[in-house]
């Protein structure tokens, strides 16, 4: 198949890595894939261009594809995209964000042979019922890919979608990278942790909305029963001092909380492997909750809040614990898992099995291929009528 993927942001935001990974996996499976994204303001890490070329993808920055709605660039992009589709014969345009969906919808009206339009909702919650989405759904999307059942059901109701055009496809991660059997450096030694420490880990951008106040209050409560408790917060944020460092000091947690900062590559994987338990309270810009999936792939139980798609991702009592995220509830979950090593072992093994079954990139690409094939069959059938 000839596929054009669009991503209307030059930064590596939450949905960028999943979108690029899918495009690259489809390319590896023999499809002709081109990823269009805005031109980065400068070269280097943190930009979609470097991420995509690192995966060997054919990319183009010939479209402006601004992140925010802008009518004149949108119209110019639609004309250019229509010309490109006609010249290259792309059969499917896969949209990841609302502005690239708008571009594709307008371009399709000018194509000699209309391509099928597929959209992924990366937020994993129902989309907003605004003017742009009312324009796009249901008439200007041949298929909608959802990451959670709640999002799928909500969008079907909200936009009166045909259930046959909406598809649940689990978000993928690099399960090989997060294999607990990989030969990595000792993350505990690197972080200065002892073998006897019970390590609760968080990997998230340090922002107020990520509920670090609840997490730190919970750590203060749990420490009363777990003297070897350690809380490792992996990440960075402009307001790190106000949101996490100073509150931890006020709570007397200087000897409990560690801030290793932003970690990448094998350093990040080694740190995750040092965790006994992973905590995930609020989905970020990547609604698929990738950090929770990574912990599950490593065989680490996850304590998740009842927010977003987390209750679908973490099976309460099987792959982790799902709680109403008050400090007392969160502390209780930490203490429970700290005192039951066998329960942690069973949950970790179940989490690893779930990750291998659901989060493998090849499995995701195979599901998306089937969606593409269904869409193309429907499109050709409609053209014959």
pLDDT at position 366: 96
pLDDT at 103 over 70: yes
> In the predicted model, what is the mean pLDDT of residues 36-52?
80
pLDDT at position 42: 67
Confidence of residue 287 (pLDDT cuts 50, 70, 90): confident
pLDDT at position 105: 96
Domains and CATH numbers, the chain: 2-172+361-384 (3.40.50.2000), 187-358 (3.40.50.2000)
Selected residue with higher pLDDT from 163 and 178 = 178
143-146 and 116-121 beta bridge pairing: parallel
pLDDT tens figures, 52-78: 888 899 999 999 999 888 999 999 999
C-beta of residue 4 within 8 angstroms of C-beta of residue 95: no
Residue of 96, 90, 91, 115 lying closest to 105 (CA atoms): 115
Give the C-alpha separation, 47 to 249, whole Å: 35
Helix 327-338 to helix 212-223 angle (10° resolution) is 50
Give the C-alpha separation, 53 to 159, whole Å: 36
pLDDT at position 150: 94
């Amino acid at each position: 198949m000839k596929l054009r993927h669009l991503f209307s942001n030059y930064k590596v935001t939450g949905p960028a890595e999943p979108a690029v990974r899918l495009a690259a996996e489809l390319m590896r499976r023999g499809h002709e894939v081109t990823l269009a994204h805005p031109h980065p303001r400068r070269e280097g890490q943190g930009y979609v261009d470097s991420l995509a070329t690192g995966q060997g993808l054919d990319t183009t920055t010939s479209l402006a594809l601004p992140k925010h709605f802008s009518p004149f660039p949108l119209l110019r992009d639609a004309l250019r995209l229509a010309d490109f589709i006609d010249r290259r014969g792309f059969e499917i345009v896969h949209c990841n964000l609302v502005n690239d969906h708008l571009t594709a919808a307008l371009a399709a009206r000018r194509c000699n042979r209309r391509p099928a339009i597929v959209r992924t909702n990366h937020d994993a919650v129902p989309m907003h019922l605004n003017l742009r989405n009312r324009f796009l759904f249901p008439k200007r999307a041949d298929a909608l890919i959802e990451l959670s059942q709640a999002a799928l059901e909500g969008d079907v109701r909200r936009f009166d979608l045909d259930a046959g055009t909406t598809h649940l496809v689990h978000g993928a991660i690099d399960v090989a990278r997060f294999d607990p059997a990989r030969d990595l450096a000792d993350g505990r030694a690197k972080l200065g942790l002892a073998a006897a420490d019970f390590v609760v880990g968080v990997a998230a951008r340090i922002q107020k909305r990520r509920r670090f106040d609840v997490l730190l209050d919970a750590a203060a409560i749990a420490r009363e029963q777990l003297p070897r408790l350690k809380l490792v917060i992996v990440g960075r944020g402009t307001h790190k001092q106000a949101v996490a460092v100073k509150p931890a000091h006020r709570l007397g947690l200087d000897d409990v909380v560690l801030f290793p900062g932003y970690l990448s590559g094998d350093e990040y994987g080694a740190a995750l492997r040092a965790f006994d338990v992973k905590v995930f309270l609020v989905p970020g810009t990547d609604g698929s909750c990738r950090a929770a999936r990574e912990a599950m792939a490593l065989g680490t139980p996850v304590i998740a809040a009842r927010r977003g798609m987390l209750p679908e991702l973490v099976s309460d009592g099987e792959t982790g614990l799902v709680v109403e995220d008050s400090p007392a509830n969160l502390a209780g979950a930490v203490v429970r898992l700290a005192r039951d090593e066998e329960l942690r072992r069973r949950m970790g093994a179940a989490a690893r099995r779930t990750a291998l079954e659901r989060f493998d990139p090849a499995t995701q690409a195979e599901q998306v291929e089937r969606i593409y094939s269904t869409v193309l069959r429907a499109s050709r059938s409609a053209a014959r009528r």
